[in-house]
Amino acid sequence: MDSTALRTKILDLAVAAGDGSVSAAELAAANYSLRDVGYSSLSYMRLIDSIENEIGVYLDPEADIEHYESIDSVTALVVASGVGADA
């Protein structure tokens, strides 16, 4: 999976984890900032769990919050965890 496909997958997972509280259009309007759209702590936990289940990468929920502030920062964290073009 290339980085664009990975980012798209994470965006889809983030919308699903938001359980109807955020849309892809709202995220785009907020420059893909999860914090700026009021993403809840429960949504963050769902997103982390979804990434583990769907992509196969464990993300530490106790990691610094800046890793979870946007779709781009979450994507970078997943790539740093070993997922990249071969995923």
pLDDT at residue 52 in the model: 95
The alpha-helical segments, DSSP class H, found in 18-87 are 24-29, 41-55, 71-80
- pLDDT tens for 22-41 read 999 999 999 999 999 999 99
Confidence of residue 14 (pLDDT cuts 50, 70, 90): very high
* pTM given for the model: 0.89
Burial of 48 (C-beta count, 10 Å sphere; 0-12/13-18/19+): buried
pLDDT-derived band of residue 86, with 50, 70 and 90 as boundaries? very low
